[in-house]
Amino acid sequence: MAKVASKNAKVKDTKAAAEAKNWSKVIKAIRSPKTGAYTFKEQIVHKDLVKDFLAQK
């Protein structure tokens, strides 16, 4: 028998689900001045602030 998807598995709070779509995970590569190796900085930011995050040093 195939499993049936449960109705409870769906998101109940549609307002919270819509708000979650406004956030993005941004990954920025930062080069070390000593070794030249790259490290990565990850952060979850609002979609309106992505350019500001990437412009930071």
* 12 vs 41, higher pLDDT: 41
CA dist., res. 8 & res. 25, Å (int):
27
* Structure confidence at residue 39 as a pLDDT band (50, 70, 90): very high
Confirm if 36 and 13 have CB atoms less than 8 A apart: no
pLDDT of residue 36: 94
pLDDT of residue 9: 59
Give the residue from 56, 21, 27, 19 showing the smallest Cα distance to 43: 27
Q: Please state the length of the chain.
A: 57
Residue 24 predicted with pLDDT over 80:
yes
Cβ neighbours of residue 27 under 8 Å, at least 6 residues apart?
40, 41, 42
Number of neighbours of residue 43 by Cβ within 10 angstroms = 13
Q: What integer pLDDT is reported at residue 17 of this predicted model?
A: 78
Quote the mean pLDDT of the chain: 86
Q: Residue 5: what pLDDT?
A: 64
